[in-house]
Amino acid sequence: MLTDMQERCLVVLEKLGKVTANELAMFFYTQGYTKFFNRNYVHPRLNELVKIGYVYEAGKKTDNITGKTCTIYAKV
């Protein structure tokens, strides 16, 4: 059984496609799902979803928010 945050991550990943954890966290913040922009709201959930096979690591890219190279996540 998935947690509420895991389910939200899956729904948003389906909508946005391939994104970094920072991009997903920013989407959550701008849509009012979270009160603050904080990568730690979503990154642990993404790792959990990868471990159980709902999400996969789709490569790396330069993150639009930090300018650093980050993992891209996508729904299976």
pLDDT for 7-57, tens place per residue? 999 999 999 999 999 999 999 999 999 999 999 999 999 999 999 999 999
Beta bridge partners of 62: 69
Find the DSSP H helices in the chain: 4-16, 21-30, 43-52
pLDDT for the residue numbered 39: 94
- For 73, the enclosing helix (H) or strand (E) is strand 69-75
- Report the distance separating Cα 76 and Cα 69, nearest Å: 22
- Residue 64 pLDDT more than 90? no
pLDDT for the residue numbered 61: 96
- Report the distance separating Cα 45 and Cα 13, nearest Å: 12
- Residue 58 pLDDT more than 90? yes
pLDDT for the residue numbered 21: 96
Q: Are 10 and 74 in contact (CB under 8 A)?
A: no
For domain 4-75, give its CATH number from 2.60.110.10, 3.60.15.10, 1.10.10.10, 1.10.10.1100: 1.10.10.10
Give pTM, 2 decimals.
0.92
